[in-house]
A and B are shown apart, each in its own frame.
Chain A
């Protein structure tokens, strides 16, 4: 069964304290792995798509990496405005285009 597990469930950082969020997945053939950011009461905001092991993508203070079993979202020198829930999702390389989501990591960055 396709599955996504994110850790930690919650993370508290001081402003400027870099860290990483983990997304482990099992899927019968990967079409893509997606990272989203979600603020309370809002829809998920797209961050990155990764397609193959070894791929990396960056956007401001965020960098996403992918291996055959997991993905990491590295946050460098975070700011309070980076506080949000970060969601990881996978899409299997089958006829379904559904996203299978992890439960998310709630990130709080304190000034």
Chain B
């Protein structure tokens, strides 16, 4: 099975711009979660989608948003970029059951804000 794919792998933007990142989950996985990884804060949860609905959201400002499509692919958008948004953005997918939810990560999108 192909793993989680993320595009683009690298992005350079300037402050004030907006950016859209894409994630394709493992085939059959309906849950997609997004995380931000920085050297100072580590890995932090952004939001989670299941069957096209946002189920949970982390403690991030409203500039961070996302959506999920009927084929389970997901996008996240960051508007009005700030220097502090520079990070590795990771997408993870899982095949959720009643008792298990192992999340498999993609390679990430490295966003640099200048």
Size category, B interface:
20 to 34
Q: List 9 additional A-B contacts (Cβ < 8 Å) besides A32-B100, A51-B100, A98-B48.
A: A31-B101, A36-B105, A41-B110, A43-B105, A43-B106, A44-B43, A95-B56, A96-B48, A98-B58
Contact B108 A98 (CB under 8 A): no
**B interface residues, Cβ below 8 angstroms from A:** 4, 6, 31, 33, 35, 42-45, 48, 55-56, 58, 90, 92, 94, 96, 99-108, 110
Residues of A contacting B94 in the complex (Cβ-Cβ under 8 angstroms): 97
12 A-B residue pairs with CB within 8 Å:
A36-B105, A43-B106, A46-B103, A49-B100, A51-B100, A97-B33, A97-B48, A99-B45, A99-B103, A101-B42, A102-B42, A103-B42
Interface string of A76-101 (1 = CB under 8 A from B): 00000000000101010001111111
Q: Are B101 and A42 in contact (CB under 8 A)?
A: no
Identify which of A42, A46, A100, A104 contacts B108 (C-beta below 8 A). Answer: A42
Given A49-B100, A97-B48, check contact A42 B107 (CB 8 Å). yes
Interface of B is mostly: strand
- Asked if residues B108 and A43 are in contact (CB atoms below 8 Å), the reply is yes
- Interface of A toward B, CB cutoff 8 Å: 31-32, 34, 36, 41-46, 49, 51, 87, 89, 91, 95-104
The answer to whether A98 touches B33 (Cβ under 8 A) is yes
Q: In the assembly, what is the distance between CA of A51 and CA of B106, in Å?
A: 23
B56 touches A43 (CB 8 A): no
- Determine whether the beta carbon of A49 is less than 8 Å from that of B48: no
Which residue of chain A lies nearest to B48 when distances are taken between CB atoms in the complex? A97
Q: B90 — which chain A residues lie within 8 A by C-beta?
A: 43-44
The distance from the CB of B44 to the nearest CB of chain A, in whole angstroms, is 8
Q: Which residues of B contact A42 (CB under 8 A)?
A: 107-108
